[in-house]
Structure 1
């Protein structure tokens, strides 16, 4: 490509030209150009020519040079555009490295905008914080920021150059060309880059902010921890928050959370790694374990001294003592954080104030993962079986029926529900266990020639096809519904589903099934069940029975339940009858049936058939 220097060589010696120079504007007064004719070619260049040249030829040379320089500048600018676009294409890969709120943030941003460095001064602003400033006077930058508060995009001349500034929500970019105007190509490029960056930030959860507290959200935490190094997490759980919500109301509860958040923020002024991960649980990032423990102890002392929160209804301040619990997580992963939330609900950890996740929760998690494998293997091979335990009548000789208890058999190992049921429910596998057990229990019941009681969760009854399924299974097993007792456990709260459950139970009752309430005295809405659901049997919870020989208050409670049941014509069963002393006390209390290891241990069908000399079912 022909260059300006080449032109100078071409013209010297021709047309009586002694010397020929194309120079940037501003050099026309140089002493070296004394005796030269100076002609303006355009706003950027002049022609300095020495020699005896005709005016007509001079004009033609000037016009030619002006046209050439214009085209040359255009070509050079286009080449620069192509080079910029090539670098931008390569630069797009850095967007994948863009991790918000990490030590890498400024480095990645500088790479992202590096294509502008040789052409302009620029600055990048996020949330009113200047993250990058390449050459713009800080005072002048403040003036531009003020202008951006009135408009999302501005462009104006400044000294010998131009300023272009654009804002997209919480981020802004300022471009300054000190020696000339800014081509529209670069303005459009900046708009595209800012739009792309904005969407990446949103995608990464950068501005997933919890509206109530102003802390970062759970979503953002799980994005951030993928790239964190050498950080420990302290999860804070407000243990008595549900009580506060229930007593004072949700709106007041929100105020408590705000005040709690304000106190933490005040204590952690320089720490921006604070996240609200559930309603009453927060996670804070620290550099060292000792820092996290020191913070927790200070916060705990403040909470124990009480915080004042204004109640709108009473128009007065209420002083509350918040009970907090901490979980220290040294290796921050989404699985560990979510597991900590689950296990805080499931275990009390002896009411310890700080729990070490790796030492105290991780072993439980490992055990549950092993239990999950057992459940999955049992479902795949249909290794779920009923173990039948007698429920003995205390009124009639040789009168009893069986309860079908869920067991998993893998090889020679037998697993009871306490070893696998919680994790099965948590992972959504319980319905599969329940279906296999129900089918087998009803099939085996036809050989026992006795009533069989089968445990059901509220979730079983609420399943759309449950009633049709149990009717089909009883017909297939050739067992009348009158020989089946359906035990509804109280471990689950019916809540808004009570009417649906009630309707299903009435339907089951009309078909001929007996209805029992399991674990009566330990659950949620005992007496509502008694008054609104057609119940045949109450099974008094073992936690009340096991101590009736030593705890007078519990014995009075059991006696009251029995008296009430008799008035309602409902039979009673005492669970967990494990000794002769308890058995005798149960008889004195006039309970109708007893169940427990003192009466009979759970047995598989083969053992029962062998004992009672019933023909094998296989």
Structure 2
């Protein structure tokens, strides 16, 4: 009986250990040693069978799962119903059925069934136990008992025929026989029950998924079940010697073995984890229970119950690692339940948001919302989470201190193996600094650093996008190219810092002149562009262009002085003028140059004729570079006469390009190009030297020979050694300095630049006269006329053209003459073409006259003839 009690103790311990593990039902069902079936209670279909069932019935696993329990149970439905009623009346928790095996043999089985839910389905979990041998023993007992009853009945009949005393002895003998027979039957039954129980317990222990072994008092293994041996074998720890020490395999890898040994020696229980390493270096862990047990012979033993927890330890290790990663990660982690309530956060979350975990537990993540995103944004987020299980993107949130920050957020919906939503895990990084850097890089790549306007790169992208949109919507689009007139002089005369200030002010005026739906860009230098979208009325474009012209022509305050620039604008319309970006840009550029050619400070819409002009300009640019090398430039001269006596006073040197194919090319066509491509300095020096050389020759003809006036570009004048260049030319040509007049424009003087002042004084000290060209058309001011050493003024021909007919022009000329006289300056009226204009100029007491009324510009040899004629007269 002690052995039976011991085995019951072992079984209970096994069950406790098994229950304490995380073994799933499916794993338990598969590995269980008892025959087990899962049955659909509705139709009797066998849903699943474990390996023990496959072995018992002899069918393949696939075949048995295609059968119903009715295919195996030999009882009819009526007999099954009767058995269920009998089991209920006898208060039994099992049924007795007869099952057919694959080999057609019949087995009497005991069936324990219990309802169970697996993956949401209601099934019957049935354990089948073969009791065929027990039934045979029971049949033998019934037969033996029947024979005994027959024997007693016979003996009773004999007693009736014997004497009383014999009958008593015989009766006692029968009673004794019956009693002995009954006692034998009882012993036989009792022995059979015990043997069955021992056999069952032994089978349970042997087939248990928990490793079980018994040890003698020295710790040597005296018994081990199949699971124990299998595990030892898998770990390369199995010793074929049954008397090996249980402790030896753990000796080198555990520090708690001494306590285990002490407990065993003291006959006390011990429980703990034991670590072992096999020959391949793989680590194993066992949760081990060791407790004392005394057998029937009072021999002290120990029972070992061991559960492999290697996977559990690995799982714990992974959990520790995950926990460490969770709490130490630089990426913020936030876990929310299915109701979107915060369950957990890590340290990075606190560092980024400012909230501790305790402050946000149970709260909604909306406490972080910045207010920058509308409800639609979050609605799309959750719709994607629901459909795909994840969402990621950039989002702005608010820290605890109220500061807005940007994060890259990834949200994942966690689901159970059955697909049920369990939680949301959010990972995010603070990308505020990176975003600022990206924004800075983007701004630097797409916006002008000086004005803040879009640059050429962004302009090109927007233009392509606007064209594509206009094509889809069948709408018009206007493109303006704007170039500032006179900016180079401003930049040179006032300095680069003031030039930058002017560009900033121009940008603001341009922005104020267009609509919010339009775009303005600075393409570089003093060039701007405007995209006017969704405009079907060309007149509206005209209005915007006029407003820009008007605003830009207003004075700018530079160094507490007024500075002036104007704008030349070229305009193209999509789709009339083209539908390609490059085509429109080229045509807008052509229209802009047309505006410059038309006197500047105006705008021009593109026309087909401009294509020819643009092509000519490109050709001239190429040919101009070759012209300097091949000596194609000539200096012509136009005489300037005394208004009253008509005496030839001096001449103005004018450059002409004698093109081998085009003939004489006007300066208005190539001087701006020469300035743009950097040829103006060398061209200007050529004209100065040729003019001085020619004038020196005139001095030989007569003592009263005329001098020569030479136009000087502001770019040319800004050279540091310009005065030295002039002095060298005078020395080389031997032209007297008083015979040289240098004509400059007003723009050179308005900057009130000390360098210009010094340069002019140096020239004056050489005896050279300074003439102010085109006076009255730009920035006329008495202050700089008083400050700078200017000897002559030239009234622009635009005023002369209306003299005598336009009262305003006449008054303006009169005012200029009056002012010049007061400053003791000589005045030249240029562009006088008729005798009427000459008489009007003469009546206003002008000093000198230049124009077709006397002569058009002449080549050098022709001017020589002209000069000789006037000398004779």
The TM-score by the shorter chain falls in which range? 0.5 to 0.7
**TM-score, normalised via structure 2 length:** 0.43
Paired residue total:
457
| 1:581-614 deviation line (CA, Å, top 9, x unaligned) | 2122222222222111120121111223355679
SS of the aligned residue for 1:29 comes to helix
Q: Which residue of structure 1 lines up, in the alignment, with residue 615 of structure 2?
A: 366
Q: CA deviation at 1:223?
A: 5.6
2:741 to 485, 503, 515: 485
Q: How do 1:47-66 and structure 2 match up within 5 A?
A: 54-60=230-236
Q: Which residue of structure 2 lines up, in the alignment, with residue 563 of structure 1?
A: 818
Q: Which residue of structure 1 lines up, in the alignment, with residue 683 of structure 2?
A: 433
Q: CA deviation at 1:414?
A: 1.1
Q: Which residue of structure 2 lines up, in the alignment, with residue 414 of structure 1?
A: 664
**TM-score, normalised via structure 1 length:** 0.59
SS of the aligned residue for 2:772 comes to strand
Q: 1:477 to 1:337 in 2, by over 3 A?
A: same
Q: Which residue of structure 2 lines up, in the alignment, with residue 221 of structure 1?
A: 459
CA distance in structure 2 between the partners assigned to 1:435 and 1:292 by the alignment: 50
CA distance in structure 2 between the partners assigned to 1:256 and 1:410 by the alignment: 42
Q: CA deviation at 1:507?
A: 1.6
CA distance in structure 2 between the partners assigned to 1:420 and 1:531 by the alignment: 34
SS of the aligned residue for 1:386 comes to strand
2:801 to 546, 550, 554: 546
Q: Decide which moves more: 133-142 or 410-419.
A: 133-142
Q: How do 1:270-285 and structure 2 match up within 5 A?
A: 274-277=519-522, 283-284=530-531
CA distance in structure 2 between the partners assigned to 1:356 and 1:519 by the alignment: 28
Q: How do 1:154-193 and structure 2 match up within 5 A?
A: 159=414, 163-166=426-429, 168-169=431-432
Return the structure number with greater relative CO, CA threshold 8 A, min gap 6: 1
| 1:340-399 deviation line (CA, Å, top 9, x unaligned) | 79549737899999x654747655433432332343232333432210111112344643
Q: Decide which moves more: 141-150 or 61-70.
A: 61-70
Q: How do 1:585-600 and structure 2 match up within 5 A?
A: 585-600=840-855
- In the alignment, structure 1 segments of 5+ residues that lack a partner are 1-24, 40-49, 71-126, 173-193, 241-248, 269-273, 305-323
SS of the aligned residue for 1:464 comes to coil
Query: Cα RMSD between the aligned structures?
Result: 5.3
Q: Which residue of structure 2 lines up, in the alignment, with residue 346 of structure 1?
A: 596
CA distance in structure 1 between the partners assigned to 2:590 and 2:24 by the alignment: 72
Q: CA deviation at 1:468?
A: 0.3
Q: 1:583 to 1:26 in 2, by over 3 A?
A: farther
Q: Which residue of structure 1 lines up, in the alignment, with residue 630 of structure 2?
A: 381
Alpha-carbon contact 1:565-1:571 (below 8 Å) kept: yes
Q: 1:350 to 1:208 in 2, by over 3 A?
A: closer
| 1:441-498 deviation line (CA, Å, top 9, x unaligned) | 12222112231111123333221010000000110111111111111123x3544354
Q: CA deviation at 1:236?
A: 5.9
Q: How do 1:308-347 and structure 2 match up within 5 A?
A: 327-328=572-573, 330-333=579-582, 336=586, 339=589, 342-343=592-593, 346=596
Q: 1:526 to 1:219 in 2, by over 3 A?
A: same
Q: CA deviation at 1:531?
A: 1.6
Q: Which residue of structure 2 lines up, in the alignment, with residue 452 of structure 1?
A: 708
CA distance in structure 1 between the partners assigned to 2:779 and 2:450 by the alignment: 33
Q: How do 1:505-516 and structure 2 match up within 5 A?
A: 505-516=760-771
Q: 1:216 to 1:443 in 2, by over 3 A?
A: closer
Q: 1:459 to 1:238 in 2, by over 3 A?
A: closer
Q: CA deviation at 1:513?
A: 0.6
Q: Which residue of structure 1 lines up, in the alignment, with residue 639 of structure 2?
A: 390
CA distance in structure 1 between the partners assigned to 2:654 and 2:450 by the alignment: 47
SS of the aligned residue for 1:420 comes to helix
CA distance in structure 2 between the partners assigned to 1:252 and 1:609 by the alignment: 51
CA distance in structure 2 between the partners assigned to 1:592 and 1:144 by the alignment: 77
Larger Rg over CA atoms: 2
CA distance in structure 2 between the partners assigned to 1:582 and 1:535 by the alignment: 26
CA distance in structure 1 between the partners assigned to 2:828 and 2:601 by the alignment: 34
Q: How do 1:33-44 and structure 2 match up within 5 A?
A: 35=33
- In the alignment, structure 2 segments of 5+ residues that lack a partner are 1-22, 34-50, 52-207, 211-225, 238-276, 285-309, 312-371, 399-403, 416-423, 471-476, 485-501, 548-568, 700-705
Q: Does 1:402 align with 2:651?
A: yes
Q: Which residue of structure 1 lines up, in the alignment, with residue 179 of structure 2?
A: none
Q: Decide which moves more: 591-600 or 404-413.
A: 404-413
Q: CA deviation at 1:163?
A: 4.9
Q: CA deviation at 1:514?
A: 1.3
CA distance in structure 2 between the partners assigned to 1:143 and 1:509 by the alignment: 72
Alpha-carbon contact 1:28-1:38 (below 8 Å) kept: no
Q: How do 1:127-166 and structure 2 match up within 5 A?
A: 136-137=385-386, 141=391, 145=395, 150=405, 152=407, 159=414, 163-166=426-429
| 1:88-135 deviation line (CA, Å, top 9, x unaligned) | xxxxxxxxxxxxxxxxxxxxxxxxxxxxxxxxxxxxxxx9899x9996
CA distance in structure 1 between the partners assigned to 2:427 and 2:467 by the alignment: 38
Q: CA deviation at 1:153?
A: 6.7
Q: Which residue of structure 2 lines up, in the alignment, with residue 533 of structure 1?
A: 788
1:293 to 536, 544, 549: 536
CA distance in structure 1 between the partners assigned to 2:634 and 2:735 by the alignment: 18
Alpha-carbon contact 1:212-1:258 (below 8 Å) kept: no
Q: CA deviation at 1:569?
A: 2.5
CA distance in structure 2 between the partners assigned to 1:280 and 1:370 by the alignment: 22
